[in-house]
Amino acid sequence: MSANTDNTYGVGSGTDNTYGVGTRTVERHDRWSTETKASTKTTEFYVFLAAVAAVVITAVMVGQDENTGIDPFGALDALQYITFLAIGYMVARGLAKSGSRQSYTT
């Protein structure tokens, strides 16, 4: 396979899907698909957002006990559960990315 080269930089573009770098010719492969869907197109993203909203609403609505003054589900508990949800979401996205493909046209 031959490639057209630019004498100034030694880099050129061929018409046969190759390009030359110096004295080498390297074949270029076009990508026809992405690794996975965009995260905002997945149901797990919306389930994650709904779960985080549920934790936040619960933490806000559950108040201190009038007798003891103890908050059974406070901000620290809510942050802990949101962290667990975020870890679960990241694991789910990692598993989704581990081999699925989607074309660029969709």
Quick check: pTM over 0.85?
A: no
The separation between the first and the last C-alpha atoms of the chain, rounded to the nearest angstrom, is 33
- pLDDT top residue among 69 and 19: 69
* Maximal CA-CA distance, the chain: 85
Q: How confident is the model at residue 101 (pLDDT cuts 50, 70, 90)?
A: low
Helices (H), the chain: 43-61, 75-97
Q: Is the pLDDT of residue 83 over 90?
A: yes
Degrees to nearest 5, angle at CA 20 with 17 and 25: 75
What is the residue type of 26?
V
Q: Which tens digit of pLDDT belongs to each residue from 5-48? A: 444 444 554 455 555 556 666 666 666 666 667 777 778 889 99
What is the residue type of 58?
T
